Amino acid sequence: MTGSSERWFLLVSHSRTGSTAELAGAAEDGARQASTLLVRHLAAEEAGPDDVLRAAAILLAAPARFGGIAGLMKDFLERIYYPCLERTPGLPAALVVKGDTDVAGAVRDVERILTGLRWRLVLPPLRVVGSLTDEARQAAFELGGSLAAGVEMGAF
C-alpha cells in the first residue's frame, strides 16, 4: 500500500472458467464509465486487508461451487475479516455470483460474512445461473456503474 490517502472502488474477483471474469470485467467497465473514482480490480488471491481499508466501496464477483461460494473468495474474506472488522463498518458492497445450476448457497455464504463485517449490501446481488448471456453482462455493467456512481454521489 502506498502512502496516498486516495480511496478507490475495489473489485475483487475469482474465476476458473472465465464466465465470472467476464462479469467482473463488465462491472469494472460500468464503474469506470459511471464515476471518476479510481477503480482497482484484484484477483481474490492477491487482494488483502490494505486494499479493503482503502476502499470507498467493494464489489465481489465469484462463482458458486458445490453449493457455496468458491474457495478462493472465501479465503479472501477470511484473510481480511479480522483486520477489517472494526475498521470498515458500513462499507458499501455489491455482489456478483455465477453458477451453473444454483447460486443461493453462495449468496447466503457471502451475505452472512458481510453481515458479520457490518458492510452494507447496497444493491441486490446479481445472480447468474447457466450460460452467460448479453443480458447478464449488461446487468453486471449496470451493477458496477450503479455502485460506483452511488458512492461518488454520496448515496451509499
Look at residue 131 and tell me if it is in a domain. yes
- At 3, the pLDDT band (50, 70, 90 cuts) reads very low
- 3-class SS at 32? helix
Half-sphere exposure of 89 (CA within 13 A, CB side): 3
Q: Give a yes or no: residue 2 inside a domain.
A: no
Look at residue 129 and tell me if it is in a domain.
yes
Question: Is 1 a domain residue?
Answer: no
Which pTM value belongs to this model? Answer: 0.95
Asked if 44 contacts 86 with a C-beta cutoff of 8 angstroms, the reply is no
**C-alpha distances in Å from residue 131, one per residue of 8, 37, 59, 72:** 31, 31, 22, 22
pLDDT band at 6 (very low <50, low <70, confident <90, very high): confident
Kindly report, residue by residue over 35-92, the tens digit of the pLDDT.
999 999 999 999 999 999 999 999 999 999 999 999 999 999 999 999 999 999 999 9
Count of domains for the chain: 1
**Inside any domain, residue 3:** no
With vertex at residue 40, the alpha carbon angle to CA 88 and CA 38, rounded to the nearest 5 degrees, is 90
Residue 32: inside a domain:
yes
Q: Containing domain of residue 72, as a range?
A: 8-153
The CATH number that applies at residue 62 is 3.40.50.360
